[in-house]
Chains A and B, each alone.
Chain A
Amino acid sequence: MADSDRAIELIDITKTYPGVLANDGVDLSVGLGDIHAIVGENGAGKSTLMNILYGMQSPDSGIIKVRGDEVSFGSPKDAIALGIGMVHQHFMLADNLTVLENIVLGDEPTKGLQLDFSFARDKITELSEQYGMPLDPDAMVEFLTIGERQRVEIMKVLYRGATILILDEPTAVLVPQEVDDLFNSLKELQAEGVTIIFISHKLDEVLSVSDAITVMRAGKTVATAVPSEITSHELAELMVGSELPTPETGESTVTDIVELAVSGLSNYHSDGRIAVDNVSFEIHQGEIVGIAGVDGNGQTELVDTIMGVRHAASGKVMLSGVDISGDDTKDRRTDGIGIIPGDRHRQGLLLDSSLWENAMLGHQTTAPFEKHGFVDKKGAKKRTGEIVERFDVRTPSVDVSAAALSGGNQQKLIVGKEMMAGPKVLIASHPTRGIDVGAQAAIWKELRDARAEGLAVLLISADLEELIGLSDTLLVMFDGAIAAELDPANVTPKTLGSHMTGVEVEEAS
């Protein structure tokens, strides 16, 4: 083995997916025994990079070195063999098994034909003492807290002999007390010589725990810094980029008629954490209100609550001055709220059904899709044909299944059917995510035109160009609450980045 004080070196890693350059000449160098943080916005390429490092994907080009030796991974097995372990953001534990059983699952120690649980138990006890991570091997996982489950996940990786740990957004699901416990554990692990790479959006946490920080943006590594030499505001600016796109200088079409008013909206996750925290805002006719924020800060839950798919614990939703808080989703849609769901496969499409049936989805109670309780197939097909025509959906016919279309064409179909239904309010959640530039420009133009005609739009996006380019008002969501209201014409990377990552903002001087 070559002598090296580097645990991991990634040199000039490039990885493309069809249409997307996920990693573009990425360099990363992690010192042995360091806690190294990787920060960046959604879609900056962090997950791709970690998947490459863990052997789940192979890079198109570039060099991976582990402890100084150049390696190539065929599968995570190869990475595990070199002592690299990954703890995913979403836990992969079997609730109905004990901690011990979960840890050995897939790597069971055997004695002859029997499982050798006593060996595993000794090893786990030893590891938990060594690393200061208390765990009861016989507890059922279903009764553990989130923090304890995470400890099981980490132990699972250590049990397999990992000395380099990758943690994907480990604090996203934790309450503050659990975050402190986690960081104490990480320090203990570090003291025992374990190298830790961890991904996060929360800059204050990153600064407090890590030895080095790498910032990624748009598939590139833009900076590597030492916490003592950088402030959270500088980090936030690096994440967002030094130049923000300029807003489209179209004339404001904002009227003073309030179309959608949300006041004091709150609700909770099933585990009791707050999902939407006292959110209030108004959208006028002819106005686009953009919501910026790192994914998972309550945007999805906010949309679901406005649509009535999720119940509000408190608060009100008013449409055109009428309180619709008690209405079900169907009524909200027929009253004129259109929705482009953020996850089109989960909430937007029937993949195995034809395009005309998909166009009907969400409008099955109104003409031209329905007549006296019956499906109006002729009307539906005609309307779908119009959508295909106007929104340039590339398809051989309206009878093929939605699964046959590319993501961009699926998205154009969804945008088209919502726009053509003539809504009063359109909730557009990531309307151009994962589609080509041409289709993106077309959708932006449609949104602008509809706004000029008086449509009220709530735009949720991770694409700053889209947000700043389209929005009349920009809101930032963090931890379920509206952290700031900004003017898209005057916003700076520093303030936007700070609000998105929960960094305390200094008073503007």
Chain B
Amino acid sequence: MKKIGLALLAPVVALVFAIGVAALALLAVGVNPGEAFKLMWDFGTTTTSIASIVNRSIPLYISAVAVAIGFQMKMFNIGVEGQYLVAALFAGWVGGSIAVWAPLHILIVIIVAVLVGALWAGIAGVLKVTRGVNEVVATIMLNFIGFSVVGYFLGNFFAVDSGALNQSTPLLPESGQIPGLNWIFTSLGFTEPRGTELQGFLIVAIIIGIAYYVLVWKTRFGFDLRASGANPGAAKMSGVNPKKMILYTMLLSGGVAGMVGLSTMFGKLHAYTQDFPRGLGFAGIAVALLGRNGAIGMALGALLFGFMERSALILDLNNIPKEVVQIIQGVVVLAVVIAYEVVDRWIKARELKAANAATQAFRSDGEEVAA
């Protein structure tokens, strides 16, 4: 119980702090913060908004998991952005070009996305292992290359109509679409969201989250991964092959990154289009930081980001600058990082005290024996 309290302390402090900063920002532009927050809350808690918030948070969460896998061994995969766009393009093209039994169709699209994402990230992994190229530099560069690759392949090979304003891969047939989950709301007695469909890919996102948790904290591979991040020298001496570990981590991170765009593809656009959502890879970094690489923490972080993006819409309608939301997002990430550091140090100091007490007890025991 006490442990959970400690775990919640840091994010709550950070959130309160961020809201405080946002209130100051609102006051500075002459808006009553209480009113603005009430507008956001009322609008953000309608069922339509909730479906929209969850839909927004799905790709953010998957992106955060991809980043977090790298973070576990102190590697920074900043290339999730490029990885998911390239993956979504190829997955969309393959998915739109075939028509098979629905579950198989969906599985094929997912597998293509995972493989392409893994391959794209794997380039950075191979470069790091063989030539010592820093993965931050390699993945940033691969982002730019990825954007060009996507544009080239879409415009020249994959677009149904290469003259269209918004070029697009062929539409996924019915068998390649995942039905929505709005029935959850109605079966629970809530009003059905209007104009928004809760995306079925949510289930895959939850599976990814559980798999991530089990892999990192329950398996030997996860132990090796965390040990390599914590102390490469000790991990090496313990029998972990650092090069293999780097490569596996990049492949895994890229594979997960490949699925970032799929919720939108299966549930909304049904194709890779020129206006496919961008920036999810970078937002995922912030969510991973916010959730401290934890499976649950990142889910909460993704939902928080989803809520803020959604509720920003209502601010706009009321002539309140919606940039306030971006301020909160930025401040909350910074505040969480700092708050966790402070709480961590506090916990460490307590441990040290307890260990010292244990040693002290030993000393006085010894004296008694001597006397």
**Does A396 lie within 8 Å of B241, measured CB to CB?**
no
**Does A409 lie within 8 Å of B359, measured CB to CB?**
yes
Partner of B359, one of A332, A341, A406: A406
Docked complex Cα distance between A341 and B234 (Å): 9
**Does A404 lie within 8 Å of B218, measured CB to CB?**
no
Q: Which residues in B have their C-beta under 8 angstroms from that of A360?
A: 223
B126 within 8 A of A: no
A352 within 8 A of B: yes
Q: Which residues in A have their C-beta under 8 angstroms from that of B352?
A: 403-404
**Does B219 lie within 8 Å of A347, measured CB to CB?**
no
**Which chain A residue has the least Cβ–Cβ distance from B222?**
A375
Q: Mark B332-371, 1 if CB is under 8 A from A, else 0.
A: 0000000000000000100110110111011000000000
**Does A347 lie within 8 Å of B233, measured CB to CB?**
yes
**Does B231 lie within 8 Å of A351, measured CB to CB?**
yes
B279-332: which have CB < 8 Å to A? none
Q: Which residues in A have their C-beta under 8 angstroms from that of B357?
A: 396
B140 within 8 A of A: no
**Does A349 lie within 8 Å of B220, measured CB to CB?**
no
Q: Which residues in B have their C-beta under 8 angstroms from that of A350?
A: 226-227, 230-231, 234
Partner of A361, one of B217, B218, B227, B241: B227
B236 within 8 A of A: yes
**Does A362 lie within 8 Å of B222, measured CB to CB?**
no
**Which chain B residue has the least Cβ–Cβ distance from A392?**
B362
Given the known A-B contacts A353-B230, A362-B239, are A375 and B355 also in contact in the complex, defined by CB atoms under 8 Å? no
What is the minimal beta-carbon distance from B289 to any residue of chain A, in angstroms? 18
B16-57: which have CB < 8 Å to A? none
Partner of B241, one of A329, A364, A409: A329
B162 within 8 A of A: no
Docked complex Cα distance between A341 and B352 (Å): 24
Docked complex Cα distance between A350 and B238 (Å): 11
**Does B351 lie within 8 Å of A400, measured CB to CB?**
yes
A342-367: which have CB < 8 Å to B? 343, 346-353, 357, 360-365
Docked complex Cα distance between A361 and B231 (Å): 11
**Does A374 lie within 8 Å of B219, measured CB to CB?**
yes
Q: Which residues in B have their C-beta under 8 angstroms from that of A309?
A: 236-237
**Does B354 lie within 8 Å of A341, measured CB to CB?**
no
Docked complex Cα distance between A370 and B220 (Å): 7
A445 within 8 A of B: no
Q: Mark B241-264, 1 if CB is under 8 A from A, else 0.
A: 100000000000000000000000
A394 within 8 A of B: yes
Q: Which residues in B have their C-beta under 8 angstroms from that of A238?
A: none
B224 within 8 A of A: yes
Most buried by A among B233, B239, B357, B361: B239
Q: Mark A357-387, 1 if CB is under 8 A from B, else 0.
A: 1001111110000100111000000000000
Partner of A403, one of B218, B348, B354, B361: B348
Docked complex Cα distance between A361 and B237 (Å): 9
B221 within 8 A of A: yes
Given the known A-B contacts A350-B227, A374-B218, are A362 and B238 also in contact in the complex, defined by CB atoms under 8 Å? yes
**Does B348 lie within 8 Å of A395, measured CB to CB?**
no
A406-462: which have CB < 8 Å to B? 406, 409
What is the minimal beta-carbon distance from B102 to any residue of chain A, in angstroms? 33
Q: Which residues in B have their C-beta under 8 angstroms from that of A396?
A: 351, 354-355, 357-358
What is the minimal beta-carbon distance from A328 to any residue of chain B, in angstroms? 6
**Does B234 lie within 8 Å of A374, measured CB to CB?**
no
What is the minimal beta-carbon distance from B218 to any residue of chain A, in angstroms? 6
A401 within 8 A of B: yes
Docked complex Cα distance between A405 and B359 (Å): 9
**Does A406 lie within 8 Å of B239, measured CB to CB?**
no
A330 within 8 A of B: yes
What is the minimal beta-carbon distance from B321 to any residue of chain A, in angstroms? 41
Docked complex Cα distance between A359 and B43 (Å): 52
A259-311: which have CB < 8 Å to B? 307, 309
**Does B222 lie within 8 Å of A364, measured CB to CB?**
no
B240 within 8 A of A: yes
Docked complex Cα distance between A47 and B275 (Å): 65
**Does B359 lie within 8 Å of A394, measured CB to CB?**
yes
**Does A329 lie within 8 Å of B231, measured CB to CB?**
no
Partner of B237, one of A341, A373, A401, A409: A341
Docked complex Cα distance between A30 and B233 (Å): 41
What is the minimal beta-carbon distance from A44 to any residue of chain B, in angstroms? 27
What is the minimal beta-carbon distance from A347 to any residue of chain B, in angstroms? 4
A339 within 8 A of B: yes
Given the known A-B contacts A374-B220, A406-B359, are A365 and B230 also in contact in the complex, defined by CB atoms under 8 Å? no
**Does A346 lie within 8 Å of B234, measured CB to CB?**
yes
Docked complex Cα distance between A435 and B202 (Å): 55
Q: Mark A308-337, 1 if CB is under 8 A from B, else 0.
A: 010000000000000000001111111000
Docked complex Cα distance between A396 and B355 (Å): 6
**Does A349 lie within 8 Å of B234, measured CB to CB?**
yes
**Does B219 lie within 8 Å of A375, measured CB to CB?**
yes
What is the minimal beta-carbon distance from B71 to any residue of chain A, in angstroms? 14
**Does A328 lie within 8 Å of B355, measured CB to CB?**
no
Would you mind naming 13 contact pairs between A and B with Cβ atoms under 8 Å apart? A309-B236, A328-B239, A328-B241, A350-B226, A350-B227, A352-B230, A357-B227, A361-B238, A375-B217, A375-B219, A375-B223, A396-B351, A403-B352
The 3 closest A-B pairs by CB, nearest first: A330-B239, A362-B238, A404-B351
8 more A-B residue pairs beyond the given contacts A329-B241, A352-B230, A396-B357, with a C-beta to C-beta distance below 8 A:
A347-B237, A351-B230, A357-B227, A374-B219, A375-B222, A394-B359, A404-B351, A409-B355
Chain A contact residues, CB within 8 Å of chain B: 307, 309, 328-334, 339, 341, 343, 346-353, 357, 360-365, 370, 373-375, 394-396, 400-401, 403-406, 409
Chain B contact residues, CB within 8 Å of chain A: 217-224, 226-227, 230-231, 233-241, 348, 351-352, 354-355, 357-359, 361-362
